[in-house]
């Protein structure tokens, strides 16, 4: 009981901070940033390095455009995912890929400050303060757990700094988000 009283205020504070963070994120209409990604794959001897740019238009459109070493892009627009690589374009409906869709959704919903959407798929833990925060997302669905174990997003106020995805097989990727670029 006492313990509960001790924990409750801090938990409530975290809840409040999460709400405030979400409200802060929701204010952003557009975003254009550079990114650097390191993929740590068991099959490879050393991490794979790639870089490119991210585009965001509130609330439903997000594009990850990889420029090096291989140009490729993935665009999420509402429910439609467009994949482009090696001159081939695939258009698929997000809801038809229940295993992969949440991974994309984690980034979109965070950028949009859409707490409801996030909580549908993940169990959210907020740590730190608005100045320096960390969101840990753990899939609720067991099927999705078979793909990704955990997603971690670090940021400062309304800027995302790193996105770490730990896959079920132990491979992981760390995306470091750079400064804002002109739209």
Partner 1 sequence: MTRLRVVRIALWLGAMVLAAVIVARANYTADLSAFLPRAPSERQRLLVDQLRDGPASRLLLIAIEGGNAQARAQLSRAIAQQLRGDAAFSTVDDGEPVSEERDRDFLSAHRYLLSESVTPQRFTVEGLNAAIDDTIASLATPAGLVAKSLLPSDPTGEFLQVLNQLDPSVQPRSTAGVWSSLDGARALLVASMRASGSDIDAAERAVQAIRAAFAAAQRASGTPAVRAAQLLVTGAPLFAVEARATIRHEAVRLSIVSTVLIVTLLLAVYRSVPVLLLGLLPVTSGALAGIAAVALGFGVVHGITLAFGITLIGESVDYSIYLFVQSRGAPAGTVESERRARVLWRTILLGVLTSVCGFASLLPSDFPGLAQLGLYSIAGLIAAAAVTRFVLPSLMPRAFQVRDLTPLGDMAARILLRVRAWRWLLSIVAILAVVALYLQRDALWNRDLAALSPTPARAQALYATLRADLGAPDVSDFVVVSGADLQTVLRACENIAMALDPLISARTIGSFDSPARYLPSMATQAARRASLPDPQELRARLHAATAALAVRAERLEPFIEDVARARTAPLLTLADLQGTSFATGFDALMMHQHDRWIALLPLHAAQATVAPAASAMQQLRSALERAAPGQAQLLNLKSESDALYASYLSEALRLSAAGLAAIVVLLLVTLRSPARVARVVAPLVLAVLAVAAALLFGGRSLTILHLIGMLLIVAVGSNYALFFDRTRTDQHAGTAPLTLASLLIANATTVVGFGVLAFSQVPVLAALGSTVAPGAFLALVFSAALSRAPPTRPNP
Alpha-carbon distance of 69 to 42, in angstroms, equals 20
Task: Write out the DSSP string of 129-182.
Answer: -SSSEEEEEEESSHHHHTTEEEEEEEEETTEEEEEEEEETTS-EEEEEEEEE--
Binding status of residue 70 toward partner 1 by CB under 8 A: yes
34 lies in the binding site for partner 1 (CB under 8 A)? no
Strand partners, 69: none
Q: Which of 39, 53, 119, 127 binds partner 1 (CB under 8 A)?
A: 39
| Smallest distance, partner 1 to C-beta of residue 113, A | 25
With CB under 8 A as the contact rule, which of the stretches 24-32, 35-43, 118-126, 152-160 interacts with partner 1? 35-43
**Does the protein bind partner 1 through residue 66 (CB under 8 A)?**
yes
Regarding 168 and contact with partner 1 (CB under 8 A), the answer is no
Minimum distance, C-beta of residue 172 to partner 1, in the bound complex (Å): 12
The residues that touch partner 1, with contacts defined as CB under 8 A, are: 37, 39, 41, 43-46, 48-50, 64, 66, 69-70, 72, 74, 83, 85-86, 88-93, 96, 100, 171
């Amino acid at each position: 009981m006492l313990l509960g009283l001790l924990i409750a205020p801090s938990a409530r504070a975290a809840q409040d901070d999460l709400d405030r963070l979400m409200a802060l994120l929701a204010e952003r209409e557009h975003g254009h940033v550079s990114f650097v990604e390191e993929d740590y794959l068991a099959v490879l001897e050393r991490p794979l390095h790639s870089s490119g740019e991210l585009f965001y238009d509130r609330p439903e459109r997000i594009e990850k455009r990889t420029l090096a070493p291989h140009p490729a892009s993935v665009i999420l627009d509402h429910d439609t995912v467009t994949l482009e690589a090696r001159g081939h374009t695939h258009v698929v409906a997000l809801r038809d890929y229940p295993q992969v869709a949440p991974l994309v959704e984690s980034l979109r919903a965070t950028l949009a400050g859409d707490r409801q959407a996030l909580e549908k798929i993940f169990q959210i833990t907020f740590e730190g303060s608005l100045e320096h925060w960390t969101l840990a997302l753990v899939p609720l669905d067991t099927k999705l757990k078979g793909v990704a174990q955990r997603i971690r997003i670090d940021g400062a106020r309304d800027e995302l700094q790193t996105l770490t995805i730990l896959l079920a097989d132990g491979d992981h990727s760390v995306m470091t988000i750079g400064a804002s670029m002109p739209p």
